[in-house]
Structure 1
């Protein structure tokens, strides 16, 4: 049976690692909501929107804290973002970061993302630190730059730490240097817990046998879309239901 583990690398915060058969569940994990703590430098710009790029000092004024706080509600809820040129998004079959390295800028399609919450944790001009909860696919770099632009200035990201992926929290993780054979086993968590955002079907013995060989299931009409099939604490599979019939998407049990 596959499981997932959590680590807390210093560079990026919470990292979720899928091991064994649980690697088949990556599609359900990458799309989970995320939470971050982000630090930004206001009054300066970067061509990559973060500290790795070319920095242009004094690209704009430092906004007063009151103005910064008043602008935050405009950047919560569903918003539109333009992917940064220094990103892995493909345009015309080429990664944007490849084009950026060649000094090229191309037209990009905006994307809709959801910012569940955006909170100013501290402001020590020119540096501000935010707590952000957002949908998967959100570019925090772009969020910071767009926020600054709305205030008539510029900003770039200087630090970013992921603190949550779905139900998994950085407080429950360990840094890599503290992991060894004696602690690693204790950090492995059941795959079903990572997919707790999906509805669950508790399989009886007959259903469990059917799932093990990938057979379709009959389910209640109200169950639609992807759902977990469990037998006690064990995640057997993920199925997708439509019109009272369900077919397997990922089977973890059986051969």
Structure 2
């Protein structure tokens, strides 16, 4: 298959993603790929044949995908999709598997095309990806969040809504050899229309709690006691099928 044919296939795929931003690929496909090794293997072999990739090199890691995404896009534009996929197979696979990676890719691709047309000034792509001092923290499936949000009539009979523990974990700051113990809680408003995320970190970090749910990103500052409380979020954003997952990260201040 020629480079132009591969490019045409990818561009058509991108059009589909842009036309269906809420669910660019049927969720059942992700489930099938994760739970059915023969199907996953068939897809990997197909991609490998198209791009001359050894199958065993096509591994998915979301962190690696986000890190290498700017370089992947640069190489895609300078040397072609085949060369980019051969150099960064984990990015190629991530774009098929991960909504977050795909969203970042589409945003950077739009920016690159805008730069090429002279509509925006040239920027360093790496500055658009997660800062160097941002630490991955906790991932909470949307289905779990839904179970922590009782209906408004039920809330009215319970008094003040409790803050439910949604997740907890450790964050290692390799630069300073600090381990942060972080607990996330979610609390719904009395009328059931909004909810907030409350984070407690020990020791208190100097920085921000960064939350991403679907296409919404929220940043809130940790106080001196290591507590961060997000702005109110609409419960309605969880009423999709499937509901969006919540990702939380710790963004430390620069040195």
| Bigger RCO (CA 8 Å, 6+ sep) | 1
Instruction: Please identify which structure carries the higher strand content.
Output: 1
Please, what TM-score do these two structures have when normalized by structure 2? 0.25
Return the index of the structure with the highest Cα Rg: 1
TM-score scaled by length of structure 1: 0.25
